[in-house]
Amino acid sequence: MSAVPKPKKTPQDPHLFDLFVILTKKLEQLLPGLPPFSPIGREWRHTRIEESLEHKRFVEGLVSDRSFAALRGKHVFSDSVFPMTMNENGLTGLLLDEYMTRRRRWTVYGDTLREDIYVQWESLFTNAELDCYAIGFLENTGTDKVLTLDEETVIRILNMTERHEWQERLPVLGEWGLQESRNLPWYVVEANWRETKQVTSEVKDFSKWNNVPQNLKVLMHAIRLFGAPRAYLSLSCVSTDLRTPRIVYGLPFLHEWQDPASFFLFNKELSDKFKQFWVSVRDRLRQRKESWWTNAMRRYERSMLDDYAEDRLVDLVIALEGCLTVEHGETHLRRAFSQRIAVLNSITSSSGRNPDADIHDLAYKCYGLRNDVVHGNVADEKKVDECLEPLREEARASFLRLLAMEVVNLSNKKREDFVLLLDKAVLRQKHRNELKRLLAKSSIANLDQMLEPKWWMRTDVQE
């Protein structure tokens, strides 16, 4: 993966570009004759332009292009971009789909609109690398300005033009173009990067492209560990820079509009701290992790998406169990689980104080409620509601400590040694001091502050 330089603005096949200009001018002539209420984004198909001489000449020009001819009938893809079949009619349709979306914002894109779209499209078969683009729609998280994290990644708010554009572009439209995506959040994370283009004659397994791209997945882990434990993506897409979308992750439902006042808001102070935090954790989060950590992060995310509070509580407990328990079938698991969380979350880089009794009691109560649910009993709803958010914050603090101590890269055997250290630290100060030294070695910026429950509520800018 490499940084993306400024794109070339000159078509590599000027003749084919000229044919594209002629084709779109013919399309503009045909569009006024469409009946009302044609499906947005697909109007061009109703103009019957595919029967025109201009369309025929463009397709013939594409087939005669040497770069395309070498790939014709094959699949082009990268580690993140879903395989695209190099078929002349399919590729032409791809180009016209995006043209129809952008032409409605001609005043935004300017006179270079046709050339910009064409160059991005042409790169699919002319370049050795693919310009990758990903967008994720953020729930419960916002920013009052563009938050540039690195050369690849930003968090920002969509303006009205972009919002309408994505509603049209995303394939979550009903049969008649009804925009079911109208409730998509305004806040997004965007990533641009470049990957080596790969070509194959046959793709046997498409499942590897059904996951959130690593760029977005790692960033979401960092946002939650930093102090937005309820943040998640309701929808994410990955594509080439042409923006032709492939939904790689979407909730089965879109949430109703939420008041931004309840969001974790990246105002100036928190934005500056998060940029420091991101720089210090980005690389270690991108490293391949042991399955126990991966499973814990997956359960942690699920704890935000479950419909019922008791299910969210169970997933939170399972996420913590996956990190802090190594026994199987032991009767004392509830006590051990509670003690280990209390010990771990009492440690800072400057203090190895005694385990916190309140944390122990919270964990003990939550584990009991978890047992009620998984064994078929009805959990007390009031107790679940009381425990859920405090436990979520303790889970965030636990995961952040494990990341800071670099436990997340340990094998299962090494993790057992760490868990044994937690058990010894329940009664012995010297072992708590050992944990403190592990935490003090961390290079994570502002760590002790971020370990405090809801620390961001005490900053000058977070209301």
Determine the Cα–Cα distance for residues 116 and 64; give it in Å rounded to an integer.
22
* End-to-end alpha carbon distance in the chain: 39
State the average pLDDT for the chain.
85
Bridge partners (DSSP) of residue 193 are: 132
Helix, coil or strand: residue 163: helix
Residue 40 pLDDT > 70: no
| Both structure tokens of 448 | 């002790």
- Predicted confidence at residue 38, as pLDDT, reads 53
H-assigned helices in 52-171: 53-64, 66-69, 88-103, 106-109, 113-126, 160-169
Nearest Cα to 168, choosing from 43, 258, 35?
43
Nearest Cα to 47, choosing from 35, 56, 58?
35
Distances (CA, A) of 167 to 191, 397, 450: 19, 37, 36
**Beta-strand (E) ranges in 293-401?**
347-348, 351-352
Determine the Cα–Cα distance for residues 463 and 455; give it in Å rounded to an integer.
12
> Is the separation of the CB atoms in 350 and 436 below 8 Å?
yes
Give kind and range of the element (H or E) at residue 284: helix 268-286
> Is the separation of the CB atoms in 315 and 306 below 8 Å?
yes
Q: Tell me which of 6-20, 29-43, 198-212, 389-403 is least confident.
A: 29-43
Instruction: Tally Cβ neighbours within 10 Å of residue 277.
Output: 23
> Is the separation of the CB atoms in 394 and 317 below 8 Å?
no
> Is the separation of the CB atoms in 446 and 454 below 8 Å?
no
Residue 460 pLDDT > 60: no
Residue 317 pLDDT > 80: yes
Residue pointed to by tokens 């563009």 = 146
Per-residue pLDDT reduced to its tens digit, 133-181: 999 999 889 998 899 999 899 999 999 888 888 887 875 444 444 445 5
Query: Which residues touch 326 (CB under 8 Å, ≥6 apart)?
Result: 412, 415, 416, 419
- Give the CA dihedral 331, 337, 343, 344, nearest 10 degrees: 150
Q: Tell me which of 172-181, 192-201, 365-374 is least confident.
A: 172-181
Per-residue pLDDT reduced to its tens digit, 100-112: 888 888 888 888 9
Phi-psi region of 80 (alpha: psi -120 to 50; beta: other; left: phi over 0): alpha
> Is the separation of the CB atoms in 170 and 279 below 8 Å?
no
Q: Is residue 94 classed exposed, middle or buried when 0-12, 13-18 and 19+ CB atoms within 10 A define those classes?
A: middle
> Is the separation of the CB atoms in 138 and 260 below 8 Å?
no
Determine the Cα–Cα distance for residues 424 and 437; give it in Å rounded to an integer.
15
| Both structure tokens of 8 | 């070339």
- Predicted confidence at residue 260, as pLDDT, reads 67
State the pTM of this model. 0.86
Residue 76 pLDDT > 50: yes
- Predicted confidence at residue 168, as pLDDT, reads 78
Q: Tell me which of 37-46, 139-148, 408-417 is least confident.
A: 37-46
Q: Phi and psi at residue 76, in whole multiples of 5°?
A: -105, 135
Nearest Cα to 348, choosing from 217, 240, 450, 460?
450
